[in-house]
Amino acid sequence: MKKILFLFSYLLLISPLYGQNIEISGIFANSSKKFKHSFGYSLGYNQIVKTKNKLGISFSQYSYGATYDDIHTPEYDPSSLSITETDANNKRFALKLNYAFRLVNNPKSKLYLGPEIGLNYFRIMEYTERIANGRIESANYTDDYWVNNRLGIGFLLEFQIDEVISKRISTVLSVNPEITSFEEFGATGSADPWFFGWLNFKLGVSYKLKK
Stretches where the chain sits below pLDDT 70 are: 1-19, 74-79, 134, 185-191, 210-211
Of 114, 112, 10, 8, nearest to 59 by C-alpha is 8
Over the stretch 31-48, which tens digit does the pLDDT of each residue have?
888 888 899 999 999 988
Give residue 15's pLDDT.
47
pTM, to two decimals: 0.82
Is residue 178 within 8 A of residue 201, CB to CB? The reply is no
Integer Cα distance of 120 and 97 in angstroms = 12
User: For the chain, what are the domain ranges?
Assistant: 2-210
Q: Could you tell me which CATH class the domain 2-210 is placed in? A: mainly beta
